[in-house]
Structure formats: C-alpha cells, structure tokens
Amino acid sequence: MDARAIIAGVRDGQMLSDEAAAWFARGLADGAVSDAQAGAFAMAVYLKGLGTSGRVALTLAMRDSGRVLDWHMPGPVLDKHSTGGIGDSVSLLLAPALAACGAYVPMISGRGLGHTGGTLDKMEAIPGYKTDPGVEGLRRVVAEVGCAIVGASADIAPADRRLYGVRDISGTVESIDLITASILSKKLAAGLEVLVLDVKVGSGAFMKTLADARALARSLVETANGAGCKTSALITDMNQSLGHSAGNALEVLEVMETLTGTAVNEALWDVTAALGGEALALAGMAADMDEGAAMIDEALESGRAAETFGRMVAHLGGPSDFVERFPDRLPSAPVTRAVLAPRRGFVQSVNAEGLGHAVVRLGGGRLVGTDKVNPSVGFSGLASLGEEMDKGEPMVLIHAATDAAAEAAEAAVRAAYVLGDTAPEEPPLIHERVN
C-alpha cells in the first residue's frame, strides 16, 4: 500500500477502506506522506467525496494517529462542539452546567478561525488561566471539578493537524468530508461517550444556508454515531452575534454576568440549555431534551454552574476569587467609542461575518497564525435584529487599543448594520434537530 494508490482510488471514486485510511493517517502523522500527496488526497476527497463509510474510516484513522484518552468516571463523559460564529460563548456556560448536573466534560477546544471567535482565546483572557495542562493535568481537573476547557496536546490527532494546514493552502477547506473528519477526530480522541453538535447557520456562520448546515450536521452525526459515539446536532441561528458582546474578555464578562445572574443574556442561556438538555438526554441522565434543559436551567439559576466555573478557573491557574471579582480581573481596552444610529428605524439585518472580521482587525483575533491576540478589544452592547433605534442612540460600543483602530471599527459597524422602517421577521434561535 502506498500514497499514490490511495490517492488514485479516491480520485476514481473507490471506497476508502479502513486499512487505506489508517495507512494514510499514519503517513500524515509521521511524515511519510509528503505535502504534495496530502494536498492531492484532499483535492480528491473534495472532488469525489468519501461517503459515510469512508468518512468514518478517515475519522477513526485520524483519531488513532495519536493518543486516545480513556476515562473511568462515576458519570458519563460528554462534550459539545460548535461550528463557529461570533459572540458564541456557550461553551463557557455549558461545561460547568453539565458538570454541575453530574457529567464529566473534558472540553478540548480551539482558537479563533477566520472571523469566528475561539474558546481558548476567551479563556486566556482570564489572568493566569492555563489552557495547556497536559493530559494528566486534564485528567486531574476533570476528576476533581467535573470539567476543564483546554487545548489539544500535540499528541492528540496529529494527522488532523497536518491535513488541516494542507487544506488551507490547497483550496479544500469547504469539503464536508474533511471538515467532518477534522472536527470529530479530535473530539473522539478525547474519549467521549456523548457529543452534541451546534451547527451554525446564517451571516456569521461558515454555512450560510440551511441546506448547507443540514448537510454538515447530517455528515457529522452519521459519522460520529458510526464511530461509536452517541451524537446529535442542533442547527442554531447565527444571523447576528449570539451574545451582546463580541471579543474575548467582553464575552467572558457577559458569561460571568449570566452565570451570576447580574445581567442574563436570554439567547445565550436558551442555546446553552437546549444543547445541554440534548447532551443529558443522549447520556441517559434525562428522559428527554426538555427535562435535560430544565436541569441545565437549575444548575445556572442556583449558582452551582458559577461555583463549578470558579473552581475550574482556580485549578487551571486563574484567580481563586474570579467569580466574586471578575469585573476587576478582566482586562479592559483604553479606548471606547459608541456607534450612534444614523436615523430612526429598526435593525433590519446584521452582517455578522463583517462584525467578526472587525473584531479580528481590532486585535481580538489573528490575521496570521503568529499574531498576538489583545483580549480586551471588541464590541459590547450590540443592537439586535428587530430592535428599534432612535437617531443618535448607541447601536454598538467599540473597545479598542487606539483611536485609529476605533475609527476603522466604526466604519465596519456602520457597514454591517442596516436600519429600516419596519421590524423584520426574526429567524428562530434553534432551527431544527438532526439525529
């Protein structure tokens, strides 16, 4: 077996066997497969597809190219994955809420990608928080706290790390087969029993149409279940920022306000409860999604989720008094500027992807991989779809490092918001469930 034969087989529409997938994944991990061969494989997959069995084979092979964790916990091991959006800080609410319900959540997360925010970047806005505790550190924190939000170690799915980079330079990023294998190989390497997926759709998502979101959700769910992990997906709306804030420290601030009940974001809460309810039902901890969502509601309302979050932060190097002192512990930007509505009207539409790129240009994300993220910058007070604005009323508050950066961001905000004379029909927060 060699790379050329495997690439030719995929190119000619032949089924990718378990053996071929395993050989190719090992070659990606150890360097036996060249960059040219990896790119040719990615293009063959992009053009011909793999089918369900091929996706399962590639996913498992990439999972097994590195270390696969196993757990011996008194409760089920669960996680959630989002396909990315802006103002989406659900993970920070959901991990401690699930742990407060008796689940164990080794949440291996990623950094910002393109216009979408990254969970690790948000957690690193907390002073001292370490996202790289190593496998034994992850085990310890999950066992003692119930959850840990961390990054993948170098020995988790190394084949995916290699293929991920090749996809970006070979024009194959959009391949649903490769997206599926990339997402799931890392999640399954965490040793999960249950996975719930949040597939975003809309102007701030990678999938702009419901048809494309359904296709990705079905691919992910079929593949994960085929690989032996109980999985379902919710397709949720991303035609605007999910939270009222976009930017790392600002989103953490909004999460903490929601966890402590000082200023609850209802959309953020509702998506968290729905995804958590689905996970608890899949794990057999709740009779159905509604009962599971009620359990998540109670964990948030009672303060148990906030207490769990605080313990996780302290165990991973952050302040021991973070829950009590979070406004003082988070960094703030030196420049703030309100963007005022140019006329009276209703928010007709929001280019959420444009807002996401504006956060990146403020320094809240990376234009290139070596960029350093400024955790303090971003937007707060984001006006929502359908909201009625008076002329001169603030639509958005910009948090920037310099006046020049704030001025550029203001232009981006004005381009992203469209006001009209009538309120638009707002899309549902949760479009549908895929299982």
> Which residues form the catalytic set?
79-82, 119, 167, 182, 186-187
Rounded Cα gap, residues 135 and 145, in angstroms: 15
CA-nearest of 81, 358, 325, 316 to 204 is 358
Residue 123 contacts residue 322 (beta carbons within 8 Å): no
Rounded Cα gap, residues 166 and 173, in angstroms: 9
How far is Cα of residue 380 from the mean position of the Cα atoms in its chain?
20
Backbone angles phi, psi at 358, to 5 degrees: -65, -40
Amino acid making up residue 414 = R
Q: Please give the C-alpha separations between residue 213 and each of 82, 176, 417, in angstroms, as whole numbers.
A: 12, 10, 24
Q: Which two tokens stand for residue 93?
A: 């609410």
CA-nearest of 342, 336, 309 to 324 is 309
Q: CA 246, 251, 257: angle at the middle one, nearest 5?
A: 135
Rounded Cα gap, residues 307 and 304, in angstroms: 5
Which of the 8 DSSP states describes residue 202?
Answer: S
Coil, strand or helix at 195: strand
Q: Which two tokens stand for residue 239?
A: 């035609």
